Structure 1
């Protein structure tokens, strides 16, 4: 499997995922240093970073990486194992079903670029778009009041016009940051004329941007993008696209007690009409043997 081609496809589709790479492995693990895989939002793993017990730990850690938007070093160890050099700052996962060996897997988030939708063609609007591209954000031009559904931030810099319609559309699109370029008095007047709830009004930043004493169009554009960067990095503005995020289903392996993510490849049995899930085929065989006796 050519993961680089798949990564490009996911990036073009704006689908978040995690790149998992084995950086250290000790026999008898089935994976080797350099093995890699992509972990999708629903827990699907494409590629190879170890057996199914390891995949369970990787899926759980990948969800954390996507939530935080930060890389993570995962140490996967068998139970009661201490013959693997310590790595400060690593997250440890103990797999009771592993037959031996130990691994370290580096997980890197691959998140779609933040989308900044801009309404208007004023010098401020142009400056916002320019600075957004400089920090690798995706810029979308708003036509009328048609706000893209995956917009993380919406900036209205028309200096008049039907600003209320764009603000309403941005609120309905669940944009995390809505900025109206206007003086404090005019901005408040625009919002006063709209039938907004208190939480909705609180989501609209006007004047938009950080208060840095900006006067020129370039300075105002810079202050707005700086405020969006602040919101993204602080966690105030979600980095994942505004889409229905699947919640991975989990179950407890009745043999080893490990919590497993239920996926198409997860070993399972149907016992008396009930699904029973396992971390690996070994636990499934042990369960079958015990209940066949």
Structure 2
């Protein structure tokens, strides 16, 4: 989940309930600041809190400013650092500094813009919230806008080179679809979760995709192509096929290649992949489409065990996500 988690949704709900709502967002950090850029806190009119901008050390000061912002409807930027006596009082004397943007909903930040942001997040549509902290002009940009394309790829919110414009990247949560509940899938699911992905296993063979082998995981027993079509694959989804069985892997590969999935990796040797390419070509897929497949799956790190192979797969997925 993103650093901002469900804070925009909470702020919109509280505002519409008449409770008042202020969004506080970390826009810059230096040194030992405990929360990253993009971290958010929502404050209601009666000082109820959800989220965090500092792990607790500046929340009190931010809440006080948020209540004032609800009264006057104005946004403001707060800075806490070692040179600021107030910063020592709230616990940043170890060298950390942060800047926090405070925006009252329905005042400085229009309800309609927040609603549009929340709608985009619900639809898994990547969106960037851009605000000039001097003029307080705001706009929402999509991931194809060249001004923010690199930020989307790196999941990097922050201040632009002009020193005034803050860009909050709202990427959908990352997902990983794993076709084939085989031995390699066990460490891969665990690693995917650690890396911030929401993994789903797809295997119609219930003996493979069992709760006993994958406790607590989401397991779909439909045919892979049907499952992937039902879920829908977007630009924040990685697909890995592991079954070695063309009856299961090939239909899933075709669905993935027809989607915006940012990664498709397929288990199998070079010889196995050559046969796969021949089948896909005969089925009408183009050379350009087939070239999107990472096979043999994973970076060549010499991995032998299932866990080592899972490491190589996770590394290649990360490389593709971050470097394109």
Q: What's the TM-score once normalised by structure 1's chain length?
A: 0.55
Distance 2:254 2:188 in 1: 21
Give the one of 10, 22, 31 matched to 2:75.
31
Aligned to 1:271: none
Call closer, same or farther: CA 1:5–1:190 in 2, change over 3 Å.
closer
Higher relative contact order (CA 8 A, sep 6+): 1
Number of corresponding residues: 192
The superposition leaves residues 9-56 of structure 1 with CA deviations (integer Å, 9 ceiling, x where unpaired) of: 69xxxxxxx986678xxxxx953224235683698979x9879x5324
Q: What is the CA-CA distance between 1:175 and the residue it aligns to?
A: 1.9
Q: What residue ranges of structure 2 are gaps of 5+ in the alignment?
A: 12-22, 29-72, 78-100, 104-108, 203-221
Q: What is the CA-CA distance between 1:223 and the residue it aligns to?
A: 0.4
Q: What's the TM-score once normalised by structure 2's chain length?
A: 0.50
Aligned to 1:7: 8
The superposition leaves residues 201-243 of structure 1 with CA deviations (integer Å, 9 ceiling, x where unpaired) of: 1011110010101111111111011001011111x1xxxxxxx
Distance 2:140 2:5 in 1: 20
Question: Is the 2:301–2:312 Cα contact (8 Å) retained in structure 1?
Answer: yes
Call closer, same or farther: CA 1:9–1:231 in 2, change over 3 Å.
farther
Aligned to 1:153: 238
Question: Is the 2:133–2:165 Cα contact (8 Å) retained in structure 1?
Answer: no
Aligned to 2:34: none
Q: What is the CA-CA distance between 1:200 and the residue it aligns to?
A: 1.0
Call closer, same or farther: CA 1:128–1:9 in 2, change over 3 Å.
farther
Question: Is the 1:65–1:72 Cα contact (8 Å) retained in structure 2?
Answer: no
Q: What residue ranges of structure 1 are gaps of 5+ in the alignment?
A: 11-17, 24-28, 75-89, 93-103, 237-293
Q: What is the CA-CA distance between 1:186 and the residue it aligns to?
A: 0.9
Match of 1:179, SS?
Answer: strand
Call closer, same or farther: CA 1:210–1:110 in 2, change over 3 Å.
same
Distance 2:239 2:264 in 1: 5
Q: Which structure's CA Rg is the greater one?
A: 1
Question: Is the 1:22–1:31 Cα contact (8 Å) retained in structure 2?
Answer: no
Task: Give 1:1-150 correspondences, 5 Å limit.
Answer: 6-7=7-8, 30-33=74-77, 34-36=101-103, 40=117, 54-56=136-138, 59=140, 64-65=147-148, 68-69=151-152, 70-74=156-160, 90-92=161-163, 104=164, 106-142=166-202, 143-144=222-223, 145=225, 146-147=227-228, 148-150=231-233
Distance 1:19 1:170 in 2: 38
Q: What is the CA-CA distance between 1:108 and the residue it aligns to?
A: 3.2
